[in-house]
Homo-oligomer: A and B are copies of this chain.
């Protein structure tokens, strides 16, 4: 039975309009199809139908974490579910993991990490901008995962405080400047994940990863296309999001030891190059 404080997704069958709200007695949810009182929904159940004051039905659904992070209060671009789903699977990450993140931004990725690390896991999120950290904190609170996150309001110039992290994720304008910090904090053999919107940033990030000896470097992009759902006229939507960001992953590895302590510098350079040429084949 729904109680004050529960998160619900209101979804209209007429237009597909939807609202993600937290039930608060006394509040009212507006829509262009009319208004709904929060108090009327307390005591109802997920799956039930509520009608607006003008008689329009809305379904009361359970929001998924994807819906939640797409609709959080934001002051920055948030990471889309198509990307975050691929990120959490491409890192050494799951319930119980320790994940470091910089920057916090609006906390969308923070909430995803915190959702999936569970109560035995831990997320530490760095951002030098206090207003973002506070916003992300309230967004994590609202999804019920605030207790799994430590927010640190400072620049990464001094590096992460943590060591041996299962995963490090960077969503900053200049990831190459934090590459040493990330490498210091990450456990051996584990992966860093990075998101950047431009090709110019990919170039600088790859240079930084290669120069630090990161292994198994991969760059990928995901495109998500929705389809219309009329069974008699199935076709892709007319428009779509064309671009969010490029995802970069790499593993922290030790330098290749010189087997004979006599390998020339030139040969080492070749090896580094080879590492970079072929990871996707």
**What residues of chain A have their CB less than 8 Å away from a CB belonging to chain B?**
8-9, 11, 13-16, 18, 45-49, 51, 55, 57, 59-62, 64-66, 81-82, 84-96, 112, 115-120, 187-191, 197-200, 202-203, 206-207, 210, 215-243, 246, 251-257, 259, 271-272, 274-281
Contacts and interface: CB of A to CB of B under 8 A. Distances in A.
A47 B216 CA distance: 11
Given A222-B223, A254-B49, A278-B16, A200 B233 contact: yes
| Copies of the chain in the assembly | 4
Nearest to A119: B95
7 contacts: A11-B215, A13-B256, A47-B251, A61-B251, A81-B89, A95-B95, A202-B227
A200 B9 CA distance: 30
Given A13-B275, A46-B188, A64 B81 contact: no
B229 A280 contact: yes
A214 B259 CA distance: 55
B230 A276 contact: yes
Given A15-B281, A62-B191, A82-B85, 20 more contacts: A13-B272, A46-B189, A47-B254, A48-B188, A48-B253, A49-B254, A59-B189, A61-B216, A66-B89, A85-B86, A118-B118, A203-B231, A206-B234, A218-B229, A221-B236, A223-B225, A225-B242, A236-B243, A238-B243, A239-B242
What's the dominant secondary structure at chain A's contact region? mixed
Contact of A210 (B95, B119, B218, B231): B231
B120 A279 contact: no
B197 A11 contact: no
A51 to B, nearest CB: 6
Question: Which of A13, A220, A238, A243 has its CB near the most chain B CB atoms (within 10 A)?
Answer: A13
Nearest to A274: B14
A233 B59 contact: no
A86 B82 contact: yes
A61 B246 contact: no
Given A95-B95, A222-B223, A230-B277, A46 B14 contact: no
A216 B59 contact: yes
Contacts of A8: 189
A206 B95 CA distance: 34
Contacts of A259: 51, 55
A195 to B, nearest CB: 12
Contacts of A200: 199, 203, 232-234
